[in-house]
């Protein structure tokens, strides 16, 4: 049986990895690297995978790995539109709620690899954390199995190239928003609401107020906030 390697550190991906492994254990030998320090050529040689999948991976993949093994990552835009960092946040800021999950070959230049397949995806509702978990389900339930079971022909990216810039923590400050409406406030809070991400915030004197868990109750928006000393 072919060896398949999953490289991820996100809890939701690890949970879905074990479900996929259980589902396809008769067809493939699955392995996982869940610590970025263990992503080395020596470790991969021991596994000798047919494919290496990188769901929600934010670090540089060494050239010695992607030149010797078929490496596939997943990007939350209809490439070549939206190459670069912070795709979810940039999509929502641009009000592009209908997007695609692109499965692409890892390449030297960021997000420029050939495309295996794309899957439609709606980001009009839900927090960033919820959206990432939903993407993970699609990756493990649909995209990875389809790649494994089909002889997909990779295709060059076609269309206008639009590059996104990775957002900084300072850009989570609500004072940077122009022409604030209820809808733009809702989008801004939810797109930054995920573990490990700089949440939307505003400052009062030496206090920093972070906003999360926003939802519409039928009449108004509600949510939660945390107050901490600004550091």
Q: Where are the domains of the chain?
A: 2-164, 169-229
Per-run averaged pLDDT (10 residues), the chain, 231 residues:
95 96 94 95 96 93 96 97 96 97 95 97 96 97 95 93 95 91 94 92 93 92 92 71
| Domain 2-164 superfamily per CATH | Formyl transferase, N-terminal domain (3.40.50.170)
CATH architecture of the region 169-229: Roll (3.10)
* Residue-wise pLDDT tens digits, 106-151: 999 999 999 999 999 999 999 999 999 999 999 999 999 999 999 8
pLDDT of residue 179: 84
Burial of 208 from C-beta contacts in 10 A (0-12 / 13-18 / 19+): middle
What is the H or E stretch that residue 16 is in? helix 11-23
pLDDT of residue 195: 87
pLDDT of residue 219: 87
Cα→Cα distances 181→75, 154, 156, 187, 190, Å: 29, 42, 40, 10, 14
Tell me if the pTM is above 0.85. yes
């Amino acid at each position: 049986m072919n060896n398949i390697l999953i490289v991820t550190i996100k809890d939701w991906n690890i949970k879905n990895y074990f479900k996929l492994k259980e589902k396809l254990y008769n067809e493939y030998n699955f392995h996982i690297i869940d610590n970025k320090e263990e992503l080395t050529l020596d470790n991969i040689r021991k596994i000798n995978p047919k494919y290496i999948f990188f769901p929600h991976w934010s670090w540089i993949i060494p050239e010695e790995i992607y030149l010797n093994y078929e490496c596939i990552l997943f990007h939350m835009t209809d490439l070549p539109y939206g190459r670069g960092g912070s795709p979810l946040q940039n999509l929502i800021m641009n009000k592009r709620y209908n997007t695609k999950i692109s499965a692409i070959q890892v390449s030297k230049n960021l997000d420029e690899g050939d495309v295996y397949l794309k899957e439609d995806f709606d980001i009009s509702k839900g927090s960033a954390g919820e959206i990432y978990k939903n993407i993970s389900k699609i990756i493990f339930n649909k995209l990875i199995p389809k790649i494994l079971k089909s002889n997909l022909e990779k295709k060059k990216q076609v269309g206008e190239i639009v590059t996104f810039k990775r957002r900084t923590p300072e850009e989570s400050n609500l004072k940077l928003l122009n022409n604030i409406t209820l809808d733009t406030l809702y989008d801004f809070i939810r797109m930054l609401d995920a573990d490990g991400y700089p949440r939307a915030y505003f400052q009062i004197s030496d206090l920093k107020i972070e906003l999360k868990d926003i939802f519409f109750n039928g009449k108004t928006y509600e949510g939660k906030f945390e107050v901490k000393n600004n550091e």
